[in-house]
Amino acid sequence: MDFKNFAAALLIIFFFSCSVCMAETEKKSEPINIRADSMKIIQDKNITVFTGNVKVTKGKTLISCNELIVHYKTSENVNSSPDRNSFDTIEAKGDVRVQMDDKKAKAENAVFDSKNEILVLSGGRPEIIDGDNKISGDTITYFIKTGVMEASRKTGSQVEVTFTNE
């Protein structure tokens, strides 16, 4: 798999795994397990928050972070409750790590916007690593609809990409 396809697949897997954790209507092919020190549903804000040593596993994929926040879609009807089977955004905060076989990603923060299908990795010099191949920058943004990935920098730093011929 070339590096571009790997990066896209890894980013999609990361947030697909998170979204499947919350979607009760999904078919169960492999169990999904979320472990955290605590979990809180805040109905008036339409969110669920997993806090402390958060670990999400599905098959060979492991996602870890300090906090995972799921923002649910709200109904057009003001008197109805949020749709617990779909979400607007998922935020992973604090030492975000993704591991799938020898493929890895890390950042301080990761945000997936489901409406616009955009994933943003930021903070702590985000990286996506596949063996000896690596991409890093101050922010990595993946536009799922178009397949465009952007790595950007802040003043004084540069984007870095390393490819091997393997």
State pLDDT tens for residues 105-144. Answer: 899 999 988 888 888 899 988 998 888 888 898 998 888 7
28 backbone φψ class: left, alpha, beta (φ>0; ψ -120 to 50): beta
C-alpha torsion angle, residues 48, 30, 9, 41 (rounded to 10): 0
> Which residues pair with residue 92 across a beta bridge?
68, 110
Q: Whole-number mean pLDDT of the chain? A: 77
Residue 147 contacts by C-beta under 8 Å, 6 or more apart in sequence?
A: 8
Asked if 110 and 92 touch (Cβ cutoff 8 Å), the reply is: yes
Per-residue model confidence as pLDDT tens digits over 80-108: 554 445 678 889 999 999 887 778 889 99
Token reading at 90? 């998922």
pTM above 0.85, yes or no: no
